[in-house]
Amino acid sequence: MINIKKILAGMTIASFVLASSFAHAENNAEVKAAIDQTVAKLEQAVDAVNKGEDAKTIADLVLEAKQFQKSFSTSDSKVAVKKAQGSNLLGQARTALSEGDMSKGGELVKKALATYQEVKEKYNAAH
């Protein structure tokens, strides 16, 4: 009887550990997806800059990228710092584009893309 109780207790603990690791893996997948979506929107924005699209179109793409990047966070300080830098660049790019400064806005969008590509590399390397 004591052995059965020990086995049941062990199985209960194992199920909690498995559930926890599954939730962690699912969270990693969500973070990776959000980073990928952010990078994809910024790639579209850079393409729009290179094609000479209007400022509003590019600003809308920047806004979408900013929304995607808000949906993830990480406890890795190196990734978190890069993400914060990228977020600041997105805000500055949107402001410049809203003011009609295509040159400055375009450069900031390109810097933001490079920053989020680095975020992606650092996150993927750590997970």
Contact by Cβ (8 Å): 21, 88: no
- Residue matched to tokens 């990776």: 32
Q: What is the pLDDT of residue 126?
A: 86
Among 44, 120, 106, residue whose Cα is nearest residue 76: 120
Distance of CA 41 to the CA centre of its chain: 11
CATH code: domain 31-126 is: 1.20.120.660
Q: What is the pLDDT of residue 63?
A: 96
The predicted model scores a pTM of 0.78
Q: What is the pLDDT along the chain (127 residues), one digit of tens a residue?
A: 566 666 655 555 655 444 443 334 448 889 999 999 999 999 999 999 999 999 999 999 999 999 999 988 888 888 999 999 999 999 999 999 999 999 999 999 999 999 999 999 999 998 8
For the chain, domain boundaries: 31-126
Q: Which amino acid belongs to residue 3? A: N
